[in-house]
Structure 1
Amino acid sequence: MKRHLLLCCLIGIMSILGYFYFQRKIIFIDHPTIEINSPFYYKKYIKKVKNGSINDVTYSANDLNNQTLGHYTVTYFFKGKTYHLKIEVIDTKKPTIKESESLKIEKGKSYDLKKGIIIKDNSNQYNLTIDTNDFNPNQIGNYTIYYKANDLSNNQTTFKRKVTVVKKIEIGTHIESNKKIVYLTFDDGPSQNTDRILKILKKYNAKATFFVTGCHQEYNQYIIEAYKQGHTIGLHSYLHEYQDIYSSKDAYFKDLKKIKQMVKQLIGIQVHYIRFPGGSSNRISKNYCHGIMSQLTREVIKQGYQYYDWNGDTTDASGDHIPTATIIKQATSETHQNIVLLAHDTDAKDTTVAALPSIIQYYKEKGYQFLGIDDESYYVHHDIQN
């Protein structure tokens, strides 16, 4: 009798344990999907965990590629059991189109109609078409240009942009804007530090201007990337050899033509913003050609360029690896309404990169915005010393 009772109890216990074992399971949501290029949160797809905690669930998403549309399998593990979740990577969000700068075109001049247009899309793959409608760059007036972006899933966004064609554009102004603006400028790039600079600028939603050279063309992809992100590309020099470019007016313009051609091949437009190596006030040019800066500053304006000196300085040109604290102190000492801030972009300017976040935060807290140079920007011209 006792043996029979013990056997019954044992069977009962095993039945209860068996019931709970077989009742333990993960119940998933219906039709699980994930937006392309979005992070995968495994708990999001679990509706319920029977006889257990969701925290006891583990998973493997090795087969999931959230960067490509399609169907994938994610494996879940719970209390010794394995579950397979079929998940679809989808793209339901429309691209966004916005304008980073107004578009003003000089009559008869060619212009990149994509300049100043910023497009963002989850898939990072889209087709942009531009409908110029009745736009006539040879006729003064106001026009509307229509932009249309289609992504991989045929999500579509349209955008209307107002365009003005004027008789002549005077490049830049010597009168400060009533807005508080920092024109952050980088000379001598691109370099291995350019990518780090771009990431910092993107993080703080700041625009800058890169006066580039032809000295390190292995990094030219960063010129393209900077332009795509809405920064301004300017011309510094092709060789950046003072004894060559300042040996004569013809030598300077020969060098300028080469860097201008290089930039056009990269970003597709003719650039007319320049910065003289050493600035327009440099004295070293006297060693190679007396009076050349007086000639060049007049001639570049005649040829449709505008040159930009600076009224704020990080002082990072004084040497390599200047202490970060020194750069921050010097760069944040300016009080102009419009600050054209000189910095450099070379492999040795790691402390300049380290100082950037503090410089940007300082001026933003003071109410400044960071903009790239454009045709209407304030410019600084130094006193000519040669």
Structure 2
Amino acid sequence: MKKRHLRKRAYVLLGCIVVLVLGLGIYFMTRPAVSFNESTQDIEINSTYNPMSFIKKVRGNKSDVTVDNSKVNVKKLGKYKITYTLNKKNYVLNVEVVDTKKPTFKVVNKAVEVGTKVKASEFVTDIKDETKTKTYFKKNVSFDKEGTQKVTVVVEDQGGNKTEKEVTVKAVKDTKAPLLAGLQNYDTTVGSNIDFMKGITVEDDFDKNPKVSVDSSKVDFGKAGTYKVIYTTKDKSGNERKYTQTVIVNNPRPANAIAPSGEKVVYLTFDDGPSQNTQRVLDILDRYHAKATFFVTGNGQKYNYLIQEAHKRGNTIALHTYCHDYRTVYASTDAYFNDLNKVGDMVKGLIGFTPRYIRFPGGSSNTVSRHYSAGIMSNLTRMVQEKGYQYYDWNVSSGDASGNNVPTARLIANATASRNNQIMILFHDTAAKNTTVEALPKVIEHYQSLGYTFKGIDDTTFTPHQRVLN
């Protein structure tokens, strides 16, 4: 009985072993030849990945596995499949391109106009993230009252990652009108036309699209004269400001006058020298590698050696007047040429020749000459050219003729107001014009920064002729 029981137990054990062996055989025969670390593998967006690293085990040689990951777009969030092939059998791994990194950004504290709707994006800069982002306030905010408050802005990416930061917002009333830039006074001729909005820009503290209009209805391009144009800026809060600019319409230049070219050149001109300030002017010109023109007189002969020095340094010497006394110079055309010949002879004795470039005392548009000889300027402007001279007025005035020691800042503002390509600036070289010397470096630096060169007058220089009024 006992033997029979033992035999029965042996048969049961043997059967279990057989079942186990068969089960193991079936398992090893049917188990995947390629297995993976995860059932679904995450890939960070825009990253570089190795699909072979997702394999946990290979039954056989791993080098025999081929991979097809052509359907995976690492630049786009989503679910994809990678197919691995071994011994002509495919094994598919589900992968997902994900974004797990939070956006980074900077915030800007700023003022806003009371009562306006403001977007959270206006306070955010330099957003960095691998996916598209959206920006919003964490809570509803209102800027209907004046005052300062702290608000939280949120930047969220397509992966649902969020970064929050606090900004300070000051709500204020808008009381400032938009500012206009690019203004200039215009100098043109009869029959021309001007685009008064060219080069004009307008900016406002709060209004992104402020309005600007120009009223040029008073300008008559068919008649020589001095006119005004009025620019008006206005923002959405109703703040308004007006700017007035001058337009000079001249009669056509004489046939032998030269029109401006497209080259950006500034002609610095100094009347009434030489003086004790001439040396300072020359040294500044050399420092900036600039040249100028000196319209000289006979009133500073103590400093005539500086005429020679200016010429030696490559500057242009031109004729202004010998006595600079209007009563004498404009008594008659003969009186004018007697004076011109005297200053011409003086300069010839210094530099070896008589310059043919001249400037009338007061310019060709002066009206003082009426007191001494009616119509003399109309005659002189014609006669000097008939005698081989060319006269030069200016299209920019520094304003230093208005008095002695005019504030330097005012001179700089006046002298740098032009946007023409060809600019001839009127300065004066006398002992009382110290602020002119002080302003000169800033004027040169301004135009050099805009790409202008500085030349002395020569035979190719444009000829600014103002309207003759006598």
Q: TM-score range by the shorter chain?
A: 0.5 to 0.7
Question: Do residues 382 (structure 1) and 466 (structure 2) align?
Answer: yes
Q: Could you tell me which of 142, 165, 188 is aligned with 2:272?
A: 188
Once the two structures are superposed, what CA deviation does each residue of 1:156-211 show, in whole Å capped at 9, x if it has no partner? xxxxxxxxxxxxxx997432122100010000000000000000000000000000
Q: Could you tell me which of 407, 425, 428 is aligned with 1:344?
A: 428
Q: Which has the higher contact order (CA 8 A, sep 6+)?
A: 1
Q: 1:301, CA displacement in angstroms?
A: 0.2
Counterpart of 1:266, as a letter, is: L
**1:280 maps to what in 2?**
364
Question: Do residues 317 (structure 1) and 390 (structure 2) align?
Answer: no
Once the two structures are superposed, what CA deviation does each residue of 1:56-94 show, in whole Å capped at 9, x if it has no partner? xxxxxxxxxxxxxxxxxxxxxxxxxxxxxxxxxxxxxxx
Q: Show the 5 A alignment for 1:68-79.
A: none
For 2:402 and 2:367, locate their aligned partners in 1 and report how far apart those are by CA, in whole Å: 16
Question: Do residues 363 (structure 1) and 464 (structure 2) align?
Answer: no
Question: Do residues 353 (structure 1) and 437 (structure 2) align?
Answer: yes
Q: Could you tell me which of 296, 317, 339 is aligned with 1:233?
A: 317
Q: Could you tell me which of 363, 377, 391 is aligned with 1:293?
A: 377
**1:174 maps to what in 2?**
258
Question: Which SS does the other structure have where 1:209 is aligned?
Answer: strand
Q: Is the 8 A contact 2:259 2:462 kept in 1?
A: yes
Structure 2: state its 5+ residue gaps: 1-253
Residues 329, 321 of structure 1: CA spacing in aligned structure 2 closer, same or farther, 3 A cutoff? same
Question: Do residues 254 (structure 1) and 343 (structure 2) align?
Answer: no
**2:388 maps to what in 1?**
304
Question: Which SS does the other structure have where 2:317 is aligned?
Answer: strand
Q: Could you tell me which of 246, 265, 287 is aligned with 2:349?
A: 265
For 1:250 and 1:320, locate their aligned partners in 2 and report how far apart those are by CA, in whole Å: 32
Question: Which SS does the other structure have where 2:283 is aligned?
Answer: helix
Q: Rg: which structure is higher? A: 2
Residues 173, 291 of structure 1: CA spacing in aligned structure 2 closer, same or farther, 3 A cutoff? closer
Question: Which SS does the other structure have where 2:366 is aligned?
Answer: coil
Question: Which SS does the other structure have where 1:277 is aligned?
Answer: coil
For 1:230 and 1:172, locate their aligned partners in 2 and report how far apart those are by CA, in whole Å: 25
For 1:341 and 1:260, locate their aligned partners in 2 and report how far apart those are by CA, in whole Å: 23
**2:293 maps to what in 1?**
209
Q: Is the 8 A contact 2:397 2:427 kept in 1?
A: yes
For 2:368 and 2:405, locate their aligned partners in 1 and report how far apart those are by CA, in whole Å: 23
Q: 1:237, CA displacement in angstroms?
A: 0.2
For 1:250 and 1:311, locate their aligned partners in 2 and report how far apart those are by CA, in whole Å: 28
Question: Which SS does the other structure have where 1:378 is aligned?
Answer: coil
Q: Is the 8 A contact 2:258 2:460 kept in 1?
A: no
For 1:188 and 1:273, locate their aligned partners in 2 and report how far apart those are by CA, in whole Å: 15
Once the two structures are superposed, what CA deviation does each residue of 1:10-47 show, in whole Å capped at 9, x if it has no partner? xxxxxxxxxxxxxxxxxxxxxxxxxxxxxxxxxxxxxx
Q: Is the 8 A contact 2:266 2:425 kept in 1?
A: yes
For 2:260 and 2:377, locate their aligned partners in 1 and report how far apart those are by CA, in whole Å: 25
For 2:442 and 2:466, locate their aligned partners in 1 and report how far apart those are by CA, in whole Å: 27
Q: Is the 8 A contact 1:173 1:377 kept in 2?
A: no
Q: Is the 8 A contact 1:280 1:381 kept in 2?
A: yes
For 1:175 and 1:381, locate their aligned partners in 2 and report how far apart those are by CA, in whole Å: 10
For 2:363 and 2:422, locate their aligned partners in 1 and report how far apart those are by CA, in whole Å: 18
Question: Which SS does the other structure have where 1:363 is aligned?
Answer: helix
Once the two structures are superposed, what CA deviation does each residue of 1:346-366 show, in whole Å capped at 9, x if it has no partner? 000000000000000000001
For 1:352 and 1:312, locate their aligned partners in 2 and report how far apart those are by CA, in whole Å: 14
Counterpart of 2:457, as a letter, is: I
Q: Is the 8 A contact 1:340 1:379 kept in 2?
A: no
Question: Do residues 335 (structure 1) and 431 (structure 2) align?
Answer: no
For 2:463 and 2:278, locate their aligned partners in 1 and report how far apart those are by CA, in whole Å: 24
For 1:333 and 1:246, locate their aligned partners in 2 and report how far apart those are by CA, in whole Å: 32
For 1:308 and 1:298, locate their aligned partners in 2 and report how far apart those are by CA, in whole Å: 13
| Root-mean-square deviation (Å) | 1.2
Once the two structures are superposed, what CA deviation does each residue of 1:240-287 show, in whole Å capped at 9, x if it has no partner? 000000000000000000000000000001210000000000000000
Question: Which SS does the other structure have where 1:188 is aligned?
Answer: strand
Question: Which SS does the other structure have where 2:430 is aligned?
Answer: coil
Q: Could you tell me which of 305, 311, 318 is aligned with 1:221?
A: 305
Structure 1: state its 5+ residue gaps: 1-169
Question: Which SS does the other structure have where 2:273 is aligned?
Answer: coil
Q: Is the 8 A contact 1:207 1:231 kept in 2?
A: yes
Counterpart of 1:368, as a letter, is: Y
**1:326 maps to what in 2?**
410
Q: Is the 8 A contact 1:171 1:306 kept in 2?
A: no
TM-score of the two chains, using structure 2 as the length reference? 0.46
Counterpart of 2:339, as a letter, is: D
**1:21 maps to what in 2?**
none
Counterpart of 1:275, as a letter, is: R
Same amino acid, percent of matched pairs:
56
Q: How many residues align?
A: 217
Question: Which SS does the other structure have where 1:299 is aligned?
Answer: helix
